[in-house]
Structure formats: C-alpha cells, structure tokens
Chain A
Amino acid sequence: MSPSDRTDDRRAEARREKEAVREKRRRGEGIGWNGRTLREQLAELEDKTEATGHYCGLSELTLKNGDPIRYEQLYARLRGDLVTARETSKEVSATPIVEQEGELCYGLFTPEGDSITVSTGIIVHVHTMSEAIKFMINHDYEESPGIEPGDIFVNNDPHVGDVHPCDLMTIIPIFHDGELIAWVGGVNHVIDTGAIGPGSMNVSQASRFGDGAYYTARKIGENFELYNSWKKEYPAKTRTPNFLKLDERTRMTGCLMVRQSVKAMIDEHGVETFKQLAREAVEDGRRGFRSRIKRTMLPGTYRGASFVDALYEGQENVTREYAQENHIMHAPSELHIREDGTFQVSFEGANKWGWHPFNCTPAAIQGGIWVMLTQTVIPNELVNDGAYYACDFHLPVGSWANTQNTETAHAYAWHFLVSAWAPLWQHLSRGYFARGFWEEINAGNANTSNWLQGGGIDQFDRLHAVNSFESACEGIGARYVEDGEPHASAVWNPEGDMGDAEAWEMVEPLPFLGRAVKPNTGGVGRRAGGAGFESMRTVKDVSRWLLYEMGNGYMTSDGGLFGGYPAASGYLLNARETDLEERFENQEDYPQHDLDPESGDFESKIDGEITRRPEGISTPKEFDDYGMYLNYLRGGSGLGDPLERDPEDVLSDIHDGYVLPRHAEDAYGVVVEKVDGEAKHNSAVQGEWELDEEATATRRREMRAERTEEAQPVSEWYDEERERIRTQNDLIDDIKKTYESSMRMSPQFAAFFRDFWDLSDDFVFDLSEQAQKSLDNRFDSGLRPMWDSHTRGHKTWLEVDDEPYVPYTWTDRSIQDLSGPESTFADRERASDDD
C-alpha cells in the first residue's frame, strides 16, 4: 500500500468513525466510555482516585496480577512503539534541534489525559500534554469545537499545559467504536516562535505579548487534514516557516504511528484489554513511585534554596523601560516526604513574577519535577502520570513559579526552572545517602546554558532564526562514586548530544572556529563535576543579523554537595567589527577558544569591539560578518572535599582539559610541574605535567591549616550576617528587593526570616524608589488566570483549605511533630493494598 493509499484509508476510517460518534451524540451520549462525556469521565476519575487513594479506584491490578508477563509485554510494546515513533519521525524534521538533539517526545494518554507511557526525549512533557488535554476537557471542547475522529489539536500555551511557547504540541484523539479510548501527543522544540527577537526563546520582552505566537489548545484540522486556515496562519507567524512545517509533519508522523500501534493492539487483544492496561499502568506507576520513595528516602522535610540572576539594568533593546531592572530568582524549596511515600514539592517563599521571560506555570514546574524524577527516583519504574498522583505541588499563586497571569512572559521558563530544581536533586541525594543508596547520589545538574540564539538574513538571503542546542550537552553533577560526566547531556533531555558542527553550520551562518572542553567549569570536589565545553563561532554572509546570550552569569544555582564546590558561573564573550577577515587573509593567529579567560589570550589575537562581561544574559545586538561569539556550555557541580581528590585524578584532569594547571594547586592543593611542552593529549591541552607528591602533601597540610585559621564559629558568622541584614549597610538593592518580594509573597517566609535572624516583627527592607515602584506595580497587577474550571490536581496551589497534609513547614511545626521517635514507613490503612 502506498503512502497516499494509507492516507486515503485513514481519512476514510476517520469519516466512518465520525459517523459512529455522531450517531451516539444524537442519542445524547458522550464520546467517553459507556456514554459518558469526557468531562464526566474526568470528574468521576478524580473523585474516585482521591476518595480511594488508588487511580480510578483500582485497588486490584487484575490484568497485571493475573498474567504479569503478558502485562509487561503489552506495556513494553506500547512504550517501544512510542520510542520507534520518535526515532522514525525525528528524521522528518529539518532542524538539528530535533534531528541531532532529539528534542522531541511522544506520549500516550488516557481519555482523561493521564499519560500511560512516554517515549524518550524531552520527558518534561510527561505531564504538560496531560494538562493541555485536561484543559480541553474541563473547558467543554467536546461541546465546542467538538472532539471527533481525525481531529488535530495544537497547543503551546504554558498557562494551559506547556513549559514555554517554543515547545509546540500536536495532539490527536484515538477512537474505537465511537468511544475516545486514548490521546496521543507529540511535542518538539521549534527554532523560532515569531517573538520580537529571533530564536525560540527571546529575552528582551517584558510580557507574553513579546513571547511569540501562542496557540492555546485549538483544533487545527479534521479527518487527519490540517485546515487551510491553519496552514496559512502559522507559517506567517515565524521566521522559519519551512522548519516549522516539517516539525509539524514530524509530530503528525509520530502521532499517527502511535495511533496505528494502539489500533493494532486493540485488533489483536481487544479494546477491553487496552482500557484495562491503560488504567492499571497509571496505578502501577503510582505505586512504583511511592515504593521507590519509601525505599530510598527518609520521611521528613528537606529544605534548601537556590538563586539565579537575570540582569536587565542598562541593557539595550528591552521592550519596556520599566522592565530594565535586575531580577534574582529566589526559590526556597521544601520537599516533604510523607510516611506513605507520597510527597509535596513546595516553593513557599518564592518571590514575585517579573517583567522578563523566565516566569513559570504549574505545568512547567510539574514537568520539571518529572524530568528530574524519571532520571533519579523512578528510572526502573513505569514512567507515566502515576507519579503525578503520588505528588502534590505547593506553588504560591503570583510567584515566578505560578504567575496565574496571562500577561507574563514565559519564553525561557527553564532559566528559573532548572535553577529552582538544583536543591531538589540534592534533597533526593541526601535521602539516598541516609538510606545507603550511595550510587544514586548526584550533586545536581548544570545550569543548561548558554543559549546561542539570533537571526536575520542568512547565507541563503532568507529571513531565518537560529537556536543552537549545544546546550543539550552540559556537564553533569558529580556522583558519590564517580566524577560527573563531562559535556554529556541536559537535565531536560538525558539523551542530549552537542550535535555535529557540520549539522549546525548547515542551518546557522555561524562557522565554527573551535570547539573544546572548557577547563574549570565543573565544580571541584573529591568527585569533580562534569566539565562543560565551548564553541567559538564567527558570522558569515549575513545582514541585519542579531545574536544574544542567555544563561546564568554572576550566580551559579548549582551548589556543590557534601563539601563540593559549585560549577563555574557564566560570562559573555563576543566581538564585533573585528579584524578576523584580515587575519584569515594574512594567515595570522585568531582565537579559536577562550579556555583561560584570565589569560588575555583571546584579546591578544583579535581586534575589535570586544565584550567580556560577568552577566549571562544579553539582549539582541547586531553582528556583521566576522563577528565572534563564544558559546559556553556549563559544567556540573562537585561533591566532597577537593582536598580528598586523588592527586593522580587531578593530573588526569589537567591532561583532559578539565582543570587549568595553575588552578590545580588553588583548588585541589595538587602541585604539578610541566615536563614537556609538546606532548599532545586527546584534548585541546598541549604539554605534559607530572605530579610532585611531596609538595602536594605539604600544600594540602598548609591548606587545611589555613582553613582552620580562617574558620569562625557559626555563632560569630551568624552575628555578623545578622548585623548586615539588620543595618542593610552593604546589601545591594537587588538583593533587598528579592527578599522583600518573598516576604511580601509569603507571611510564613517573612515570619521564618525574621525569626531566624532575630529581627523585629516589623522589619522590612529599605528599597530604592525604583525597586519599591516595581514591586508595588507587580503586586498590584492582580491575576489573569487561564483556567475557569480547575482539576483536583490544581488544588494545592489554589489556596484552598483542604491542602494535603505535609509533615511540617517553616516555623509552624518542628521535628517534634514526627509521628513517633522511630518514624518509619509503617503500614498505614490507605497504603495496605500497595506494594
């Protein structure tokens, strides 16, 4: 059968199925199971899940228990088919973002929108498409515009169910005998969203209205055919229409493959088996998650905080003057592990959203948690929305984590998301340490940046945009038992890849001048954080070409663990109006790297307008041919005392390009001597060093003595810090604004902060007029929520009274509230049916 025959067949099938659905509707029946509407079905499922503590009231897994091998085979087949769909459809896309990096993911969902199984790829979307489906259900899409066989829906709205608008989703319903039995969704990261600046995640907008095109859960086709109106609309809203068209075909390809797989399973095993499998898989996932938590963690509250900078003061090309202010994200996080293995993630105390594109929605936060959990807690359990039903989230309304305001911008929600998660990895690691699962311990993940983005008229004289995904290949945090993997992956895509340079050059007019491991990027420690890497690019054959940087700058959000050091923070390095062309013509030296930023090597090999700044974010600036741009991809954080690192490992680090020789002594107390200037290594390093064991031992003794000398009692440090805060003498306005914002957001945090530092009950930070005005303006802005009808899963951030119990939080409770001196995961009535 030819592809066009298959297409015709599929469309004919859709029309037949549609007739069955319409006949049912004429009888007053919905498209759900047994005549219910989808909304009835969702309502009943949520009611029964919460009332019984089991997904959809399933206390017995009859399919699994009756024939466990068959159950595993059926599930593995579904999941395998999703992975196949991804691996196949990847090749349809033209962008290296998909084809090289694999920024693509598929999910199979129950009629109520819970994921049954997901493919590999950007697994943050295990739940975002769930939210999008539930949005359509709860806002009566069955009634209008209707949900029928062959329909095609799109969504990229984070307020509905997404992380940010450049992750475009295609979602299609799967019907059998007039019933909607499942949904399949595919999502990929596109190159350009049509924002006010080129690229997928522009940084210079103050609100949603500069984020690019939003497509809020809308129907864009019927009978597996896109509407002509849609085909004309969305290409005009992006600088890269052909890429987006192919991306859409990619997603449709995968969705149709998955649909075919489901149909085949039903043909072979019957629809009742499929329905039962779908239900049990989610309940199984829920149980598996809880049992893993019970096995690997201790109950209680794990508390931490992270910060990251987003600095706009003095930046050019910011769309609004009032947005030219500095932001610091404050993410105090608590992980409450209950004795039954469920948990709550709380960001109580998070500060207010800002006029920047780093704000998050609940779907983004939840997705972020899943992408973390699937890599650490539940790698060998079923990865689906079962975990969703084992967790709840406390996301303060109006904070950067849950703006509930459709005016806010979200183009690069990951900046705050990734930074906010950093302590959560470490919470889990502390639990693993306590329970003895040392091989699972991980110091964290890199801040996934820099993002090289831009656009203009490219080498083919076309309007174009670029978005390098070399950031899919960051250093990973150190493990307890091993160093972190260097330049390996990103927290949101563990299969990440830096991509072939040639593949990037085909779609970016930015030739590579060099690519190398970047020294001193991984956090030092007994176990070193994985090193990042860098690419040096130039610009060629462009006009009105813009480039900008995006990442963490002054701050590193990934602290080290157990005495390890954080990964290096970021910086900007670029050059415009250079003499690179002349250097090429004269065969003179030119910079290929910036391996040692303090050496002056870069500046010695190029003339031009050089920008080297400690910030991580810049707004779009124009670059001409032979401009230069450093793409610096970050490293992971370290674990353990650096003075305990084996000196031979430090020597290897030097030869591998992970540590500069002159920093071996500073960081590790390891003394080395260069013995050969010519030796080459499998790295950018030239030269050979040898270890001076005696000098190293001496130096380490000295460093330990210096530590003792410099150390001070915590009480002394506390008094000094308290005085700083109380007098506010050397606190910059940005810091004060951050804390004042958190205190205004959260009375609990304010009480905790004042109590901890023994401040007066009426203590507030004195802000500049500008900072005060900014806070007042944002707090006065109010809410503009998207959802009219929420799901039960939203209740923990809807400020309702019946929030699920957490062991303790802030100063309201203490360790005295544990159920007993030997608090354990003893059997409780509700958990008695679980593993």
Chain B
Amino acid sequence: MTTIIIIKSVDNHSSVREILGSVVDAGERVHFLRLPTVQCLGSLIQEVNPMINYGVDYTIHPLPEGYDVSTLVEFATEFDANRICIGISDRTLTGKARIDDLTQSILLHDDISGDFVVGEHAIILEELEYGD
C-alpha cells in the first residue's frame, strides 16, 4: 500500500503520528508531500522518525510553487497511491474538523475518488481509484 501525507505545517506532529500509527502499516510506502508554504520537513522527520518508530519507508517531495489540485492528483496517480492523508488544521466551534480548500478540491476532482474518513488529527482519503 502507498500513502501520500500532505504536510501543511511542520507542527503537524500529531496528525503524522496518527497516520503512521493507526492508518499505515509497517513496511508500507509513504510519500510526504511538502506544500510550498512549508520551508522544510526536517524538524518534523527528526521528531517523528517514521522508519525507526513506525517501520515505513518514505520519500519527501516538495510541491512546486503555483501548484493546483491537478498537480497533486497527477502525483498520486504517478505513485499509484492508495491513500491521501492531510492534517486537520481548522475546526468548527464544536470541535469538528473543517474541510479546507485543498481537501475539498481533491474530493471534487474528477480523476480521483475514494472513501472519506475523519480521524482525530487527520483526514484520510482511502481506497482511492483513478478515473480517465
């Protein structure tokens, strides 16, 4: 199984830990996708240590400046990702996860579909299928 984790902030430790600990299994492949607003994932990786602590092999990719959702979907298609995960960065007053623009764009994209799951700290799009 292959999972894409979109990183919007290097402070996303809890969402990354939840994804690696509860969603991804040891031995699976993970691609960290760094948004242009994030300078560097180094401190996050040093804190979480995905391979030591969760047994996953991973690669870090920068998403280019000026990207749109199609770039992201192409990326997912290229790596035949089974899941896309993104941290919850905003909540309603009652504590429910607010779907951000990026997540919404992915959900609405014609070339990708899947199941939508909301975790404690992360939103997971799983069982992904790719259209034409």
Chain A residues with CB under 8 Å of chain B are: 26-30, 34-40, 42-44, 46-48, 50-52, 57, 137-138, 140, 142-143, 789
* Given A47-B49, A50-B52, A51-B52: A140 and B65 interface contact (C-beta under 8 Å): no
Could you tell me if B41 and A51 are in contact, using CB atoms closer than 8 angstroms?
no
Could you tell me if A36 and B51 are in contact, using CB atoms closer than 8 angstroms?
no
Contact of A47 among B36, B52, B64 (CB under 8 A): B52
Contact of A40 among B49, B50, B52, B60 (CB under 8 A): B60
Q: How far is the CA of A143 from the CA of B34 in the complex (A)?
A: 16
Q: For A46, give the chain B residue with the smallest CB separation.
A: B46
Contact of A44 among B43, B45, B63 (CB under 8 A): B45
Could you tell me if A37 and B45 are in contact, using CB atoms closer than 8 angstroms?
no
What A residues does B40 contact at CB under 8 A? 30, 37, 39-40, 140, 142-143
* Given A40-B42, A43-B46: A35 and B52 interface contact (C-beta under 8 Å): no
Q: Residue B55 at the A interface, CB < 8 A?
A: yes
What A residues does B36 contact at CB under 8 A? 28
Chain B residues with CB under 8 Å of chain A are: 34, 36, 39-43, 45-46, 49-52, 55, 57-65
What A residues does B59 contact at CB under 8 A? 34
What A residues does B62 contact at CB under 8 A? 27-30, 35-36
How many pairs of residues, A versus B, come closer than 8 Å at their CB atoms?
Answer: 75
What A residues does B43 contact at CB under 8 A? 39, 43, 789
What A residues does B42 contact at CB under 8 A? 37-40, 42-43, 137-138, 140
Least CB distance, A112 to chain B, in whole angstroms = 11
What B residues does A38 contact at CB under 8 A? 42
Q: How far is the CA of A472 from the CA of B39 in the complex (A)?
A: 47
A-B contact pairs, 7 of them (CB 8 A): A35-B61, A37-B41, A40-B40, A43-B41, A44-B45, A44-B60, A46-B49
Q: How far is the CA of A52 from the CA of B55 in the complex (A)?
A: 9
What B residues does A36 contact at CB under 8 A? 60, 62
What A residues does B65 contact at CB under 8 A? 26-28
What A residues does B41 contact at CB under 8 A? 37, 40, 43
* Given A43-B46, A47-B51, A52-B51: A143 and B60 interface contact (C-beta under 8 Å): no
Least CB distance, B33 to chain A, in whole angstroms = 11
Q: For B39, give the chain A residue with the smallest CB separation.
A: A143
Q: How far is the CA of A43 from the CA of B48 in the complex (A)?
A: 10
What B residues does A34 contact at CB under 8 A? 59, 61
What B residues does A27 contact at CB under 8 A? 62, 64-65
Q: How far is the CA of A34 from the CA of B65 in the complex (A)?
A: 16
Majority secondary structure of chain B interface residues (helix, strand, loop or mixed): mixed
What A residues does B57 contact at CB under 8 A? 48, 57
Could you tell me if A44 and B39 are in contact, using CB atoms closer than 8 angstroms?
no
Could you tell me if B60 and A47 are in contact, using CB atoms closer than 8 angstroms?
no
Could you tell me if B49 and A28 are in contact, using CB atoms closer than 8 angstroms?
no
Q: How far is the CA of A35 from the CA of B40 in the complex (A)?
A: 11
| Sample of 18 more A-B contacts, CB < 8 Å, known A27-B65, A34-B61, A44-B58 | A27-B62, A28-B63, A28-B65, A37-B40, A37-B41, A40-B42, A40-B60, A43-B45, A44-B45, A46-B49, A47-B49, A47-B52, A51-B49, A57-B51, A138-B42, A140-B40, A143-B39, A143-B40
Could you tell me if B55 and A51 are in contact, using CB atoms closer than 8 angstroms?
yes
What B residues does A789 contact at CB under 8 A? 43, 46
What A residues does B50 contact at CB under 8 A? 47
What A residues does B39 contact at CB under 8 A? 37, 140, 143
Q: How far is the CA of A36 from the CA of B41 in the complex (A)?
A: 9
Q: How far is the CA of A50 from the CA of B52 in the complex (A)?
A: 7
Q: For B40, give the chain A residue with the smallest CB separation.
A: A37
Cβ-closest 9 pairs across A and B: A39-B42, A43-B45, A51-B51, A28-B36, A37-B40, A43-B46, A35-B62, A27-B64, A51-B52
Least CB distance, B106 to chain A, in whole angstroms = 19
Least CB distance, B10 to chain A, in whole angstroms = 10
* Given A28-B62, A40-B60, A140-B40: A47 and B55 interface contact (C-beta under 8 Å): no
Best-buried of A30, A40, A138 by chain B (most CB within 10 Å): A40
Q: How far is the CA of A28 from the CA of B39 in the complex (A)?
A: 8
Q: How far is the CA of A47 from the CA of B45 in the complex (A)?
A: 8
Q: How far is the CA of A26 from the CA of B60 in the complex (A)?
A: 18
Q: How far is the CA of A48 from the CA of B49 in the complex (A)?
A: 9
Q: How far is the CA of A149 from the CA of B107 in the complex (A)?
A: 42
Q: How far is the CA of A46 from the CA of B36 in the complex (A)?
A: 24
Least CB distance, A686 to chain B, in whole angstroms = 67
What B residues does A35 contact at CB under 8 A? 61-62
What B residues does A47 contact at CB under 8 A? 45-46, 49-52
Q: How far is the CA of A564 from the CA of B94 in the complex (A)?
A: 79
What B residues does A142 contact at CB under 8 A? 40
Best-buried of B41, B49, B62, B63 by chain A (most CB within 10 Å): B62
Least CB distance, B113 to chain A, in whole angstroms = 28
Q: For B35, give the chain A residue with the smallest CB separation.
A: A28
What A residues does B46 contact at CB under 8 A? 39, 43, 46-47, 138, 789
Least CB distance, B73 to chain A, in whole angstroms = 18
Least CB distance, B30 to chain A, in whole angstroms = 11
Q: For B37, give the chain A residue with the smallest CB separation.
A: A28
Q: For A48, give the chain B residue with the smallest CB separation.
A: B51
Least CB distance, B36 to chain A, in whole angstroms = 4
Least CB distance, B8 to chain A, in whole angstroms = 13
Q: For B52, give the chain A residue with the smallest CB separation.
A: A51
What A residues does B52 contact at CB under 8 A? 47, 50-51
Best-buried of A30, A38, A42 by chain B (most CB within 10 Å): A30
Best-buried of B39, B42, B65 by chain A (most CB within 10 Å): B42
Least CB distance, A792 to chain B, in whole angstroms = 8
Q: How far is the CA of A50 from the CA of B45 in the complex (A)?
A: 13
Q: How far is the CA of A57 from the CA of B57 in the complex (A)?
A: 10
Least CB distance, B90 to chain A, in whole angstroms = 22
Least CB distance, B79 to chain A, in whole angstroms = 14
Least CB distance, A678 to chain B, in whole angstroms = 74
What B residues does A40 contact at CB under 8 A? 34, 40-42, 45, 60
Q: How far is the CA of A134 from the CA of B33 in the complex (A)?
A: 24
Least CB distance, B50 to chain A, in whole angstroms = 6
Least CB distance, A268 to chain B, in whole angstroms = 29
Q: How far is the CA of A42 from the CA of B42 in the complex (A)?
A: 8
Q: For A802, give the chain B residue with the smallest CB separation.
A: B52
Least CB distance, B74 to chain A, in whole angstroms = 16
Q: How far is the CA of A772 from the CA of B117 in the complex (A)?
A: 64
Q: How far is the CA of A40 from the CA of B58 in the complex (A)?
A: 12
Q: How far is the CA of A34 from the CA of B41 in the complex (A)?
A: 14
Q: How far is the CA of A46 from the CA of B39 in the complex (A)?
A: 20
What A residues does B64 contact at CB under 8 A? 27-29
Q: For B54, give the chain A residue with the smallest CB separation.
A: A51
What A residues does B55 contact at CB under 8 A? 51
Least CB distance, B102 to chain A, in whole angstroms = 15
What B residues does A29 contact at CB under 8 A? 62, 64
Q: For B51, give the chain A residue with the smallest CB separation.
A: A51
Q: How far is the CA of A27 from the CA of B63 in the complex (A)?
A: 8
Q: How far is the CA of A709 from the CA of B13 in the complex (A)?
A: 72
Q: For B44, give the chain A residue with the smallest CB separation.
A: A43
Q: For A28, give the chain B residue with the smallest CB separation.
A: B36
What B residues does A140 contact at CB under 8 A? 39-40, 42
Q: How far is the CA of A28 from the CA of B52 in the complex (A)?
A: 27
Q: For B47, give the chain A residue with the smallest CB separation.
A: A43
Q: How far is the CA of A739 from the CA of B85 in the complex (A)?
A: 57
Q: For B49, give the chain A residue with the smallest CB separation.
A: A47
What B residues does A57 contact at CB under 8 A? 51, 57
Q: How far is the CA of A43 from the CA of B43 in the complex (A)?
A: 8
Least CB distance, A41 to chain B, in whole angstroms = 8
Q: How far is the CA of A110 from the CA of B58 in the complex (A)?
A: 20
